[in-house]
Amino acid sequence: MIKATAGGGGRGMRVVEHEDDLISYAEITMQEAKNAFGNEKIYLEKFIANPRHIEVQIVGDGKGHAIHLGTRDCSMQRRHQKIIEEAPARNINEDALNKTYEACINLCKKIKYEGVGTIEFLYENDEFYFIEMNTRIQVEHPVTEMITGFDLVKAQLRIALNMNISLNQNDIKFSGHSMECRINAEDPETFQPSPGKITKMHTPGGFGIRYDSHIYGGLPFLPIMIRY
Amino acid sequence: MGDKITAKTLAEEAGIQIVPGYKEDIPMMKKNLKKLQKILVIQ
């Protein structure tokens, strides 16, 4: 697998299946990376063919204290974009998970991580492999909030404002299972991005349902609002 | 965390397992890519 060092969101990477393709694919990826990210640097890593995408939510106060808020399973993707996210991830090797939690906390303490963040992994054959760390709140954060009752946005704001925050791992209790579904503005036949007016909208509700969005019936959905 | 190579290096130092690979800077010239191809084939 060839990857751009500045890539992300599934962009700037290419699988090399035949040795003869290595040089030409590297050159193509470098050019694409230069155009997309302004940085043509690339690196190589083993292609893991059929992994799950598991991520660990962390919070650090910038003073060397950090906790984790468990896992999310974001394996359900299309074109490297997450579609359905769940918390917690099920059927994970417990020993591997505990070691990974410990290593994640070590990393956050080592760099005195400040704010909320997500450490993303590929998971295959009971092994976790680090992909990247997203140093921000993520779209899928609500599924973690739903099973922990921990308000990640509030924590991020408190940390940013240098307010007191208690980060004690023993205070984090996990309960239940949560799923999130992203709805994309696409043509239902071609699956191409499809801006336009939202003519009708009925939001879900009820016990255990959480709905996060800015959209409403009548809203013109502009091309800039579509994530390609 | 800066670029992905920096992130991988920091993660590895903290005891996190990373995807096996070649994470040194890859020189941008074609002749060096050919050298790299030889290294990878040998490995």
Measured CA to CA, the distance from residue A1 to residue A15 in angstroms comes to 4
Residues of B in Cβ contact (< 8 Å) with A133: 1, 7, 11
pLDDT digits (tens, 9 = 90+) for A130-155: 988 999 999 999 999 999 999 999 99
What pTM value is reported for the model?
Answer: 0.84
Structure tokens belonging to residue B7 = 């992130």
Residue B21 near chain A (CB below 8 Å): yes
Structure tokens belonging to residue B35 = 């050298």
pLDDT digits (tens, 9 = 90+) for B11-20: 999 999 998 8
**Looking at this predicted complex, what is its ipTM?**
0.76
CA A42 to chain CA centroid, Å, is 22
CB atoms within 10 A of CB A143: 24
Q: Which of B18, B22, B33 is facing A23, going by the closest CB pair? A: B33
Measured CA to CA, the distance from residue A15 to residue A26 in angstroms comes to 10
Measured CA to CA, the distance from residue B26 to residue B37 in angstroms comes to 11
